[in-house]
Chains A and B, each alone.
Chain A
């Protein structure tokens, strides 16, 4: 049963520290998304990649956030420096084809910045 995996599942850190979240998409799924979910804003698209190339990162604060896909089996989302307002659940999702196809979500990383 192929699934999207994410690490870590939980992260507590202090303001100003760097945070790195990792995602392994389902083998063969070539579109990868990063979302942030909070109670107030719901699910917000931060960035997405197709065939490892970044296609849209307009939802991501550029000054502190960066997303990369060094190879087809790994996507990373970094926050440097982290701030308390970054506290949220970060989901990685993928789709088999186009960016508008059905998406399969990972379990999420719950980030708390103190």
Chain B
């Protein structure tokens, strides 16, 4: 099975940098996704990591360490519109399992 842990909530200041961590224990691992979900809306794809290291995409970066069962999502130059939940999801052999999500609040 899959077990995914993320902090429930985080608060950060506009313009700052925030790191959202995700740890997982899994019986099978083929990659890790990050999704963003604004309140009342559907999750949308942000990033995908299958190899160790950092993937950068604009203000957002995602890091993976397979040996440590660890990933993080890094958000730079935070904007108010980044207030949302961020879901870590592990890709197994047959399906994707989502974490409960980290609710990020960006304050002025």
Contacts and interface: CB of A to CB of B under 8 A. Distances in A.
Interface in B50-96: 87, 91-96
A42 B101 contact: yes
A42 B99 contact: yes
A100 B100 contact: no
A34 to B, nearest CB: 12
A25 interface: no
Given A91-B42, A102-B48, A42 B100 contact: yes
Contacts of A102: 33, 45, 48
B91 A106 contact: no
A90 B58 CA distance: 31
B41 A107 contact: yes
Given A56-B94, A102-B33, A107 B42 contact: yes
Contacts of A55: 94
A100 B42 contact: no
A91 B96 CA distance: 15
B11 interface: no
B3 interface: no
A76 interface: no
Nearest to A38: B100
A100 B98 contact: no
A77 interface: no
Contacts of A41: 100
Given A42-B98, A42-B100, A105-B43, A100 B30 contact: yes
B97 interface: yes
Given A100-B92, A102-B48, A107-B41, 19 more contacts: A41-B100, A42-B87, A43-B43, A43-B98, A45-B96, A45-B98, A48-B95, A56-B94, A91-B43, A99-B94, A100-B94, A100-B96, A102-B33, A103-B45, A105-B42, A105-B43, A105-B44, A106-B42, A108-B42
7 contacts: A41-B100, A42-B100, A43-B87, A56-B94, A102-B33, A105-B42, A107-B41
Interface of B: 30-31, 33, 41-45, 48, 87, 91-101
